[in-house]
Amino acid sequence: MFSLLLYGTILYFFFKNNSSNQNDNNYSSSRISANINSSQIAESNSLNTNENIGGSVIPDVNLIENTTQNTNTQSENYQIPTETKISSFSTPIVDDNENRVNNIKITCSRINGTVVKANNEFSFCDIVGQPSAKDGYKEAHAFANGKVVNAIGGGNCQVSTTVYNAAKKVDGVEITERHEHGKPVGYIEEGKDATVAYDYYDLKFENHNDYDLKLKAYIKNKKVYVEVYKLS
C-alpha cells in the first residue's frame, strides 16, 4: 500500500514538472516573437516618421541639395544690368520757396529709379500719383487757368518739364502726350515746358527701343536734374 502511494506521488510530480516546462517554453517563444514584432513595428514607425511628420512629407535630402545647387546656379548666372547714361537735362530752381522745393523733392523721389521697359509707355501721373497733404506735399505756386495760384503739389510741373526734355533727346523715344502751360515759366524757354494735372494733363512717352530705360531724378545746386540710362 505504501509502495503504491509512493509510486503515485512520483508520477504526480513528474507530470506536473513536464507541464510547467511546456508552459515556460510556450511563454518564452511568445515573448521572443512579441519582441521581434515590436522591433519591426518600431523600425517601421521610425521610417514612416522620417518620411512624414504631422502629415507633411519631408523632401529627400538629395532633392534639397539639388534645389540648392540650382538656386545658386541661377544666382550666379544673374547679372546686374549695366547702366549707361544716354541723356540728361536740368532746370534751375528760380522760385526757391520752401514748400515748392519740398514738393519737387518728393516728386523727384517718386520718379527716381523708374524703369521704362522696352516697348512700354511712361506716364508721369501714374508714377507720381495725385499730390496730397498726407504724402507730405504742401501748397506752393502753380498755374491754373493762366493764373498763379497756391496748390497742393505746386512745383511738379518743373519736374515733368525736366523729364520731358531729357526723354525727347533719347533715340527711340516717342512723346505721346505733352501740354504747355500757355504762359511762360521762369525755369525753361517758352514752348519747352510740360505741364501736368492729375486726371487732366499728363506727360507720356513710349520706349520703342529693344532695351529698358531707367530714370534718375534729383535736386543738386538749386537745379532739378533728370538723367536717362540705357540698361543692358
| Per-residue model confidence as pLDDT tens digits over 39-93 | 443 444 444 444 433 333 444 444 444 544 554 545 567 789 999 999 999 999 9
Please tell me the total count of domains within the chain.
Answer: 2
**33 φ/ψ angles, rounded to the nearest 5 degrees:** -60, -40
* pLDDT attached to residue 8: 52
157 with 128, same domain: the answer is yes
Q: Shortest CA distance to 204 belongs to which of 110, 120, 128, 121?
A: 121
pTM of the shown model: 0.68
12 with 36, same domain: the answer is yes
61 with 101, same domain: the answer is no
25 with 139, same domain: the answer is no
Residue 193 CA to residue 178 CA, distance in Å, equals 9
What sign has the CA pseudo-torsion 206, 209, 213, 217?
negative
State the average pLDDT over residues 183-206.
95
41 with 147, same domain: the answer is no
